[in-house]
Structure 1
Amino acid sequence: MRRPAALRLSAALATMALAATAGVTLSTSEASAATGSATGYATQNGGTTGGAGGQTVRATTGTAIHAALCNRPADNTPITIQVEGTINHGNTAKVSGTSCNTAAGVIELKQISNVTIVGVGSGAVFDQLGIHIRESSNIIIQNVTVRNVKKSGSPTSNGGDAIGMEKNVRNVWVDHVTLEASGGEAQGYDGLFDMKDDTRYVTLSYSVLRNSGRGGLVGSSESDLANSFITYHHNRYENIDSRAPLLRGGTAHMYNNHYVRLHSSGINSRAGAKARVDSNYFEDSKDVLGTFYTSAAGYWQVSGNVFDNVTWSSPGDENNPAGPDPRSNTTVGIPYAYSLDRADCVPEIVSRTAGAGKGLLVSDGACSPQSPAPTSSAPAPSEPAPSPTVPTPGPTQPTGRNLSIGAGSDGSGKAEGTSYGDVRDGDMGTYWSPDGPTGAISIKWASPTAVSLVDIREASGFGGSVDGWRLVDGDTGTVLASGQGAGLVAFPRTTLRKITFEITSSRGTVRVAEYETYAG
C-alpha cells in the first residue's frame, strides 16, 4: 500500500538525515553511469547502462551506499554512486526504505535496477566486505577493489564471495575491478566472481582476480543450469587453484584474458556448457581448459590461443582435459561485435589495463591502451563491428570460381533432414537449416585461402528469413562484416582456413541453400 504523502516526506527526510551522518553527499546533478560503454553479453537483452541519466551521489561508507539507494523515489530510479575510501564492516549498516532492501555487513543490491557503483580516482576498497546482487537488473560496478571476503572465520560477508549474483539477475557489467583473497576454502574464502540461480547477460572486463582457491562459477550445482550468456575479456587470473571459471550449462565467451599460475584447473566447462575461447594467453598453469571433476561433459570452441608452459593431466572417467592439443568440439555463435588483440600481446595489454586504479584504460583492438570512448546512453559495444558495403542481393552472381565447391563445411546444430554439405554442392534444391532461430554455418579449407566476397543464398520460397548476421574469421574470431538479410557480402580480402556465417536473429525458418565464397 502506498503511504500518505506526509509519511513519505518524513521517511525521505529521515533517510537524507541518515545519509548526511553516514558519509554521503547528495547531488541533483545529472551524470553518465560510468566511463565507457558495456561490452560483451552485457550489451544484449536491452543493454546495460546502470545509473545513466540519474542522480549522482558520493559515498565514503557502506551505510552511505545503502542510504543513497534507499533515498531514491523508486527501486528503479537511476542512480550513480561514486565511492571513495575504504568500505568495511564498521561503516556498513542496514538502511530501510521503500526503494531498497539492504543488510548490514554486505553491500546489498537486492530487488533494484539501474544502479552504478564506481570508484573515484584510483578506486575504492571494499575490505572484507562483499557485493551481493540479487533479483536485480542493469547494474554496473567499476573501478573498485574487493578483498578478503570470508564465508567462515571472522568477519564473514556475502557467503565468502567478493562479488556474487543470484536469483533472476539480468544485465550486469563489472569492469576494471580487482578481486582478491588470501587463500582458499580452508582459510575461509569462497569464490571471487560467482553467478547462480538464473543469472544472465553479464560481462567481466579489464579486471584482476588473484590469490584465491576459486576464481568463480556459473551455476551452483549440476541442476542449476539456467545461468548463461557471460563474457570474460581482458582479465588477469593469477595464482588461482580452479574455477577460472567453472561453467555448469549455458554459454560463455572468453577472449583476450591472461591466465597465469592456475594450479589445478582453469576453464572448466561441464554439464552441457559451451565456452568460446578466443585469443587468450595461458601461462605456467595446469589443465587450463576441459571438463574436470565430473562425467557430465561440457564443450568448447577454441581459436588463436597461446599455451605457454601448460601441463595437462591424463583423461579419466571424471577428467577430460582439452589438451595437450586443444581442438574445438562445438561451435558457439557470438551475437555482439568485438575486436581481438593478438594472443601474443595479451599479457602486456592486460597488465596495462586490467584492475582498479588503471585509469579505466582499454585496448584499441591492436594491442595498445587507450582511454575509453565517451559513455553513450544507448547500449552499444565499445568497439563496433566494421561497416562493410553489402550489395543488394540479386540474381547476378559474382564472377570467378566458387571456392566453396570442393571445400569442407561444419556448423552449429542442424534441423532434421538437412546437411552442412548441402550449402556447398551447387544445388539450390538442397539446404542447411539451424536447429533453432539462430545458428552458424562454416566453409573451411585444408590450406589458407584468400576470400573477399561471400554470397548467402536462401532456398527458393524462403528468402528473407535471415535477419541479423555476422561473418567471422574462423581462425582468429575477427568479425569481418555484420548486417541484416542474406545476400552478397563484400569485405577486405582475408586469408583464412575457415569462414563462419553466424545467424544472430531470424524471421522464420532459415534454409541456406548455398554458401558461396569468392576471392574477388
Structure 2
Amino acid sequence: MVVAGVAFSMNQASAQSGGATGYAALNGGTTGGAGGQVVRATTGTQINAALCNRASASTPIIIQVEGTINHGNTSDVSGSSCDVGSTLIDLKNVSNVTIVGVGSGAVFDQIGIHIRSSSNIILQNFTVRNVKKSGSPTSNGGDAIGMEAGVRNVWADHLTLEASGGESEGYDGLFDMKNDTKYVTLSYSVLRNSERGGLIGSSESDTSNGFVTFHHNLYQNLNSRVPLLRGGIAHSYNNHFTGIVESGINSRAGARIQVDNNYFEDSKDVLGTFYTDERGAWEVNGNLFDNVTWSSPGSENYPAGPNVQSTTSVAIPYSHRLDRAECVPSIVAATAGANRGLKTSDGDCSAQPPTPDPTDPDPTEPDPTDPDPTDPDPTEPPGGANLSLASGAGADGSSKAGGTSYGNVRDGDMSTYWSPSGATGRISVKWDSDVTVSSINIREAAG
C-alpha cells in the first residue's frame, strides 16, 4: 500500500458507515456478508451456486448481481451450505449473506426472494417485479420478498418492489413478514402498483413478529397493507404515501406503531384499524396529511382521522434523525429506489452520497476490478510521500501466509507483499493520530 498526500482523517473515515439503520441495527446488528468472499452473478443459477459453494451455511458472502434474473436463467444447485430452488431465490437456513445490485442494475423479473429460518441478511440496490402466485410463471407465493420462520436481522435497502396489479392478476404482497420474524428495516425503497404493500403477521394469531422499521420509502398506487401489522412493534418515519386507495398503515391485533414525520398525499384512510374488531394502536408525531379522506367509523373500521391523535406510546430504542415532513416527498424522490446511487438523507432534508459501507466494497461501481477512469495507469504507484512510512504507521491483520508480512503492505517495496493464510483475510494500517492523505493505492502482488 502506497499512500501519498490530502483530505481525509483516517479516524473519521473509519467511523463512517452506510450500515443498517433502525431495528436491523439492534440484536447484534446486521452486517450481511461483510468480510466474506465477493462473487459476481448475472444469472439466478450463479446466485444459487455462490450460496452452495460456501464452506458452510454461515460463511459470509457478498453476491454482486448485474442484469436480469428470471426463470430462464435460474436452476437448482446442490450443496451442503444451501437449500435453493429453480423458481425463486431461496435464503433458507443460512446467515451472513449480502445480495447487492451493481453496475447497470439488477432486476429479479417474476422471481421472488424467500428468507426462511435465516439471519443477518442484507438485500440492497435491486428491483423485484411482477412475482405471481397464480398464472405463469409462479414464484414465492406471489411475494416480491417474503420472510418467515424465525428470521432475524434483515436490512432491505434501496430496493424497488413492484407489481402490475392485484390478487386477481396473480400478485400478492411486496414485503411480507410472518411466523416469528424480528429486527427488520426497510429503507429508501419504492413499493408501487400492487394491491398489497406488505404485512407483519399472516393472521390475527400470528403475533410473534415485530421490531420493524420503515423509513424514507415511497408507497405509491397501492390498495392497502402499507403495512398491515398484526401484533408487535414498528416504527414508520419520513415515508411518502401517495395514491393509497383503501387503507394505509393498518394496526391490528394489539400491534403498536410509532408514526413520525410522514407525508400522506392523495389517499384514503392512511392510518387506523381496518377489516377487524381486534384493534391496534399508534403514536403520531409531526405527520402531514395532504388531500387525505377518511371514512366513517363502524364495525371493523376504525380510522385514525380526520383528527389524528395518539392512542399509545412507543419507546424507540435507537437514534435517528427526522427530516421535516414537508420535505419528505422531495427527499424520498431523490434517494429511494434501486440503481439511484445509494443516496441517503442527511437528516436535514438534503440528499447525500453513500458513506463507506463495510458490508459492500462499492455497490455502485460497475465492476470493482475495472481500472479507475481518472487514472491513466492505475497499476503505477502514485507520487508523493509514503505516509505509512513517513508518519510511523504500523500494520496488523487477521492472519498471514508463510513468507509474507503485515508490514509488507506499507514498506514501499513493490516486490514484497502480504497474503492471508486462508481464502480471505483482513489487513489494517494504523496511525497513532489522525493523518491527512490524498490517495490510497492498493495493488495485487501480480501487479
Matches within 5 A, 1:300-319: 300-319=282-301
Structure-2 residue corresponding to 1:87: 69
Matched length: 345
Q: Distance in 1 between matches of 2:211 and 2:86?
A: 31
Matches within 5 A, 1:388-427: none
Q: Report the CA distance between 1:115 and its aligned residue.
A: 0.1
Does residue 72 (structure 1) correspond to residue 72 (structure 2)? The answer is: no
One-letter identity of the residue aligned with 1:187? E
Q: Distance in 1 between matches of 2:40 and 2:20?
A: 22
Structure-2 residue corresponding to 1:265: 247
The answer to whether the Cα contact below 8 Å between 2:67 and 2:104 also exists between their aligned partners in 1 is: no
Question: Deviations 1:280-312 (Å, cap 9, x if unpaired)?
Answer: 000000000000000001000000000000000
Q: Distance in 2 between matches of 1:181 and 1:211?
A: 5
Structure-1 residue corresponding to 2:228: 246
- Residue number among 339, 344, 354 corresponding to 2:336 in the alignment: 354
Please, what TM-score do these two structures have when normalized by structure 1? 0.66
Structure-1 residue corresponding to 2:204: 222
Q: RMSD between aligned alpha carbons? A: 1.2
One-letter identity of the residue aligned with 1:292? F
One-letter identity of the residue aligned with 1:199? T
- Residue number among 78, 94, 114 corresponding to 1:132 in the alignment: 114
Does residue 171 (structure 1) correspond to residue 153 (structure 2)? The answer is: yes
Q: Report the CA distance between 1:123 and its aligned residue.
A: 2.3
Question: Deviations 1:341-393 (Å, cap 9, x if unpaired)?
Answer: 0000000000010000110000000000001222247xxxxxxxxxxxxxxxx
Q: Secondary structure at the match of 1:329?
A: coil
Does residue 162 (structure 1) correspond to residue 135 (structure 2)? The answer is: no
* Percent of paired sites with the same residue: 73
Does residue 61 (structure 1) correspond to residue 33 (structure 2)? The answer is: no
Q: Secondary structure at the match of 2:103?
A: coil
The answer to whether the Cα contact below 8 Å between 1:122 and 1:356 also exists between their aligned partners in 2 is: no
Q: Distance in 2 between matches of 1:79 and 1:229?
A: 25
Q: Report the CA distance between 1:177 and its aligned residue.
A: 0.3
Structure-1 residue corresponding to 2:84: 102
The answer to whether the Cα contact below 8 Å between 1:122 and 1:143 also exists between their aligned partners in 2 is: no
Structure-1 residue corresponding to 2:396: none
The answer to whether the Cα contact below 8 Å between 2:341 and 2:354 also exists between their aligned partners in 1 is: no
Structure-2 residue corresponding to 1:235: 217
Matches within 5 A, 1:254-403: 254-376=236-358
Question: Deviations 1:73-108 (Å, cap 9, x if unpaired)?
Answer: 000000000000000001111111100000111000
Matches within 5 A, 1:40-55: 40-55=22-37
Please, what TM-score do these two structures have when normalized by structure 2? 0.76
One-letter identity of the residue aligned with 1:354? A
Q: Distance in 1 between matches of 2:29 and 2:289?
A: 34
Q: Distance in 2 between matches of 1:255 and 1:95?
A: 40
Return structure 1 stretches of 4+ with deviation > 4 angstroms: none
Matches within 5 A, 1:476-495: none
Structure-2 residue corresponding to 1:194: 176
More RCO (CA 8 Å, sep 6+): 2
Does residue 142 (structure 1) correspond to residue 129 (structure 2)? The answer is: no
Q: Distance in 2 between matches of 1:365 and 1:123?
A: 27
Query: Which runs of no fewer than 5 residues in structure 2 stay unpaired?
Result: 1-13, 360-447
Q: Distance in 1 between matches of 2:253 and 2:91?
A: 29
One-letter identity of the residue aligned with 2:276? T
Does residue 153 (structure 1) correspond to residue 119 (structure 2)? The answer is: no
Question: Deviations 1:109-149 (Å, cap 9, x if unpaired)?
Answer: 00000000000034200000000000000000000000000
Q: Report the CA distance between 1:36 and its aligned residue.
A: 1.6
